[in-house]
Amino acid sequence: MKDLKRSGLTREQWSAMTLYEKFEQVVIFVLSAIIAVIVVASVWALMREVVNRMVLGAFDTLDYATFQVVFGMIFTVVIALEFKRSLLVATERSFGILQVRTIVLIALLAIARKFIILDLGETEPAKIAALAGAALALGAVHWLVRDQDRREESGAKNAEGDQ
């Protein structure tokens, strides 16, 4: 039960949960542990890559291939960390597993990573246009969801003020 305290849950909250809510919490905990292992392995691989390139004298930050490899790996770690954080935030909320805004932001990070690692000489223009369209659509969804969140927050504040 000590793990419940660390995750922000009290014994009373845990016992008040339905079986499915407890199941969700356990799955989130397991996924968080798996993602943590992946992040550690990814950071280790990133460190090895940077050190190898420095030792071999191939760490030229102005070289596009080096930029693609290193920043592609960095974005992979950032995406995994953001996904893990979104899971931890989900444990604190009483509604839904993941917020749409978080999923959209993670998708935008993934598209940004894809743009960084793309080999522009080998990539078809249609694929670049499709990725740009996806980024634009996700940006619009994020803007709409953010606007919805603001309306809900202002409605909640108005309801509190009425009491």
Q: Are 66 and 60 in contact (CB under 8 A)?
A: yes
> What is the three-class DSSP state of 18?
coil
At residue 161, the 3 state secondary structure works out as helix
Work out the number of other CB atoms within 10 angstroms of the CB of residue 30.
11
Cα–Cα distance, 17 to 63 (Å, whole number): 54
Average pLDDT, the chain: 82
Residue 136 one-letter amino acid: L
Query: What is the rounded distance in angstroms from the CA atom of residue 72 to the CA atom of residue 64?
Result: 11
Q: How many CB atoms lie within 10 A of CB 159?
A: 9
In the chain, the percentage of residues whose pLDDT exceeds 90 is 30
DSSP classification of residue 123: S
Q: How confident is the model at residue 44 (pLDDT cuts 50, 70, 90)?
A: very high
**pLDDT tens for each residue of 62-119:** 777 778 888 889 999 999 998 888 888 877 765 554 578 888 889 999 999 999 888 8
Q: Residue 5 — very low, low, confident or very high, per pLDDT cuts 50/70/90?
A: very low
Question: pLDDT of 129-151, one tens digit each?
Answer: 999 999 999 999 988 887 776 77
What pTM, to 2 d.p., does this model score? 0.69
